[in-house]
Amino acid sequence: MLTSSKAASTHVKVPWARKGSGFTLFMDSQIVLMAQHVITTAIAEIIDEHDTLRGRVLNHYVSEARSYENLTKD
């Protein structure tokens, strides 16, 4: 996000960030890795963000991973 001298924000599409995430893909990956080892409220404190934002990141990747699950019986 870029901020001008008039305090207006401009969002720029960049290849290292997921659209609407608010984080880079690296930060997304760090949040997912931390979630494997600590409670999610601790992640919110570590990254100094509200836990709803952290939750959206985790929900995105959990939903994506589950879409690849094969739950059919062979």
Q: Is residue 4 part of a domain?
A: no
Q: Is residue 73 part of a domain?
A: no
Instruction: Determine the average pLDDT of the residues in 19-31.
Output: 84
SS3 3: strand
Q: Is residue 55 part of a domain?
A: yes
Q: Is residue 38 part of a domain?
A: yes
Domain that holds residue 63: 15-67
| pLDDT at residue 4 greater than cutoff 60 | no
Number of compact structural domains in the chain? 1
Q: Is residue 43 part of a domain?
A: yes
Q: What's the pLDDT score for residue 36?
A: 92
More confident residue, 10 or 58: 58
